[in-house]
Structure 1
Amino acid sequence: MPQPTTLLVFAHRDEASAFADVPHLVTGVGKVNAAVSLATALAVGGIDQVVVLGTAGVVSDGPERPSLEDVYQITGVVQHDFSLPSPELRPAGPAILPPERTAVIATGDVFVQNDAQRARIAGLGASLVDMEAYAYASVCERLGVPLQLFKVPSDFADSATTDEEWDTIVFRKSEQLREFWDRLA
């Protein structure tokens, strides 16, 4: 039986920096870039499944708070910046990580670095936040392509988080994602 053709996807080129030797797609940051780039790639055909690897901010607090050292599989995706109700999407790819290493992520077109934003987003049931996951999940659901999303937290999405801090951390997180990917392959 032939191996399924997997499209490996990243939002930002720096998240993919440790994957230079592996075919992949970099969609660009934000929901529009993510949706258009992924839909264009899938329209060509020949892709049996999509695997997204990337970084995310932590918005939840307490004992269940995701660690900055672990990779999490996303099992639910919500939007946090859309005023109309939108359904929680559940990626259709198989869950391979144990329940304690799964998370719900909230997506919005803003780099969250504000304590009030964090609290509001956590109130939606999310423990992580990014800028693309909802778009990836929506495209894959509409086109019937199984999706797995894996995120490694890069920061706590609070008022101490800066764009410059993320720019420094992302290369180390790319290496962490590569180690995770190599164990899966």
Structure 2
Amino acid sequence: MSDLALIMALPSESKGLFEQAGIEVHYSGIGKVNAAFKAFEVIHKTGCKTLLNLGTAGSSHFNAHELVEVTTFVQRDMDVSPLGFAVGVTPMDEDHPAEIHLQSYFQYLPQGICGTGDSFETGLPKVPCHLVDMEGYAMAKVCKKLGVRFVSVKYITDGANETAHLDWEENLLLGAQKLSKLYQTIKEEQ
């Protein structure tokens, strides 16, 4: 992966480990609007051919502390069903279907479908997915539109349930350590 740029949502997801190792991290902030804007900005600023998103996610499908490569992104909060559209479908956006499929990079990691939405999910999403986040779909869509490869790996911090907010906070350091180690393996492969 040459011409690689790294994007994460929040500094709390990296715990300073990337910066301590001299790795530039672009932080998007929380939510789809912030993520889309930052992804666009990073691609234009760096000229990267691959945008790598490392971060955290909740899941009732995968176990806590697993690293999961996202191979498909969906929008769990796009709901225009009263107008006859399926949940997850953005109306009149034929060029970009509801599911954004990604080419797998990490053959050895479990793979899953991530539902992105502008809410901290603590229940079952309206669309079928294995894990949930708040930024990935937006980044993936920007990359698709600009012809940039998007790779995303999420550390599962919580079960996307009623204790998710507590589990997320508690597991951030371990997640940062695992994601930092994964990043180092990518750089060693180049």
Q: TM-score, normalised by structure 2?
A: 0.82
CA distance in 2, matches of 1:48, 1:88: 22
- 2:112 is the alignment partner of 1:103: yes
Matches within 5 A, 1:134-153: 134-153=137-156
Helix, strand or coil at the partner of 1:167: helix
Deviations 1:38-86 (A, max 9, x none): 1112123521111100000003xxxxx3122321110000011111324
Deviations 1:116-157 (A, max 9, x none): x32xx2x62211000001001000000000010001100001
- 1:69 corresponding residue in structure 2: 65
The answer to whether the 8 Å contact 1:71/1:180 transfers is: no
The answer to whether the 8 Å contact 1:72/1:97 transfers is: no
List gaps (5 residues or longer) in structure 2. 81-88, 91-97
CA distance in 1, matches of 2:27, 2:6: 9
Matches within 5 A, 1:146-161: 146-161=149-164
List gaps (5 residues or longer) in structure 1. 60-64
Indicate the percent of aligned positions where both proteins have the same amino acid: 26
Helix, strand or coil at the partner of 1:140: helix
Q: Which runs of 4+ in 1 moved over 3 A?
A: none
Q: How many residues align?
A: 169
Matches within 5 A, 1:35-184: 35-59=36-60, 65-84=61-80, 85-86=89-90, 87-91=98-102, 93-98=103-108, 101-113=110-122, 117-118=123-124, 121=125, 124-162=127-165, 164-184=166-186
The answer to whether the 8 Å contact 2:65/2:175 transfers is: no
